[in-house]
Each structure stands twice: as C-alpha cells, then as structure tokens.
Amino acid sequence: MRNEHIDNFPRKPVISRFVAPWDTSGWYGVWPDLQPRSRLYTNSEAQVAQLPEKYRGVPYIRTYNSNAEGFDDKQEVDFYVEQDPVVYAALDDRCVPDFLEQFQDSGDVLTSTDGTVYRIFLRKYASGAQVHIPGFKGPYNHYIVFALPTSREYAEHHYDTAQVPVTLEPYQKRSYQWYFYETFNHLEDGTCPQDFCMDGTGGVRTYRSAPQRKYLYLGADARLYRKTQTTGKDVFETSFTAVYGESRLYVCGVVVHNAAGDPSSGTAAGIGKKHGWYVPDPDQTGSCSGTQRDLDQ
C-alpha cells in the first residue's frame, strides 16, 4: 500500500521535441535561460552583449556557426511548441531574411561580443505546432532561435488532488542471462545458426548445469562459415572457450589462441577490404586444431 500526494506539476516547456540536423553530431541543441553573457554558438566563444529585457530567461537553440570556421553550412532547425508562443529568429543584419517565411521584423536587435548585430524577427504559433526554420547560404553568421510564451500562466500552478491507495503487483524475480548465450537460446539442439554452413562435428547444445542457456559447440577441425556482403565498415565479434588442450580459432582472417583453463577469448575484426581483411572463402579458411570436448564433460 502506498499513498502519494502531488500538490503541483512541473511547468510545460515551450520548445519540445527538438530535432537536430542529421549530420551535426550534437552541435545543435536547446539551452535554457538566454541572458547577457550566454554563448550564442556551440563552436564559438561569441556571447550575448546586449539583449532587450523582455527576451531574457527564455529557452533558445544554440546552433553551429560555420562562418566562424571559414566555410558555409548553416543548417535548419526543427521543433514543436507546447504553449502558444512567439518564436524569434535573431538574424545577422547583413543577411537578407527572404527565407524566413511569415516572420516579421520586431524592430529589436541583439548584439554579440564580437560586434555582430542581429535583427530579431518574430512569428506567432499555436500550441502543438511544428516549427521549421530552413538553413541559408552566404558569408554571414548563423541565426539564433528562441521562443517566448504569450501567457505566463504555466508558472507554478497548484492543483486540487486526492490521496488514492495503490496496490503494487508483487515483483517477479528473473534469472540473469548473458547476451552471448541468449544468441543461441531460440535454436534447437544440434542445429546450425541460420544462414551459416558447418563442416565437421558441432552445433547448438544446452548446458546441463544451466538449461536456460545454450552455446555453439565446434569439434576439432570443424568450421562454421558464411559469405556476406559488407560495407567496408563492419565489425565482427566473437567469444570462445577451449575446454581441452589448446585451440586456435580462425575468425575473418584473425587467429585467436586459447588453452583449457584460460579465460574466454574474444576478438573484434573489421570485415571488408577497407580495413585490410576480407570475408574468407570457405575453401580457403583454415581449420581449428586441437581437441575440444562438450562443455558439460
């Protein structure tokens, strides 16, 4: 039995579900509390020098200013609004705002510590609307986008609530399973993993001491193989244990050695000519030497 009493809710955000351009790798993002001394860009030390009082404290989108790096790649911003806001775009005053569809000049300006003057343009949106501001070209700084709600009613509001008893379902304990074993858990004993071919003795088996786990067994001189198309950037990973004697495992042209009693060995190999390795042809693949036994023996 648990009683909880909620006497207020967090305020709604203005900017929501912001989607950064696909190739910007975190260089575009939403920041809170626009103020004098706030950084304008993620890759520049330029800060707000002067900002009209009414815009202070609002959330804003920090963009990447390619102009500061000597090239031109000013990309779009896309987000939703959860209140009825006015969305503002502060644009380098040397730039023609012909791409800002339905935006109007507010008459206000923002200035930065590097001396750039930004004209502030505005457009009203309804709650739930998607905002898309396209990128643009030219030897100018990128824009800065921020949003101001038309109503301040979202600030700390208290609601009438009631205490409701809640009965929680009993916790069901589950046994832990290691990912490498789970890879084969859906296969029948004695079978070969899908899309692979096998020569020699081997196949999927179940641990006698842990029936919920399965593993892939390869006997002496056995081989498991397949041909596949690669991009040149693929990585293949494997983990294996030698249960008797010494083993050599050939994986995508990489030889891994292990002896009984040693910790499990693993390897990660690049697949594709770009990395200097290739997908081995079954007729050219070396075979494993040594003797292996069932893991339960």
Is the pTM value of this prediction over 0.75? no
Share of the chain above pLDDT 90, in %: 36
pLDDT at 161: 58
Per DSSP, the three-state class of 76 is: coil
| pLDDT tens string 146-158 | 999 887 554 444 5
The CA distance from 143 to 74, in Å, is: 9
In order of 89, 110, 168, 180, the CA distances from 54 in angstroms are 15, 12, 48, 57
Share of the chain above pLDDT 70, in %: 71
Contact 276, 267 (CB under 8 A): no
Q: Is the per-residue pLDDT at 206 higher than 90?
A: no
Q: pLDDT class for 262, splitting at 50, 70, 90?
A: low
pLDDT (average), residues 89-110: 94
H-run or E-run covering 90 = strand 85-92
What ranges in the chain are assigned the alpha helix state H? 179-182
| pLDDT tens string 238-253 | 777 776 677 777 776 6
E-assigned strands of 186-295?
197-199, 202-206, 214-218, 223-225, 234-240, 246-251, 254-259, 265-271
pLDDT at 101: 87
| pLDDT tens string 70-99 | 999 999 999 999 888 999 999 999 999 999
Q: pLDDT class for 230, splitting at 50, 70, 90?
A: low
DSSP bridge partners of 2: 166
H-run or E-run covering 88 = strand 85-92
pLDDT at 144: 95
pLDDT at 196: 82
Identify which has the larger pLDDT, 15 or 25.
15
pLDDT (average), residues 18-44: 87
The CA distance from 203 to 178, in Å, is: 19
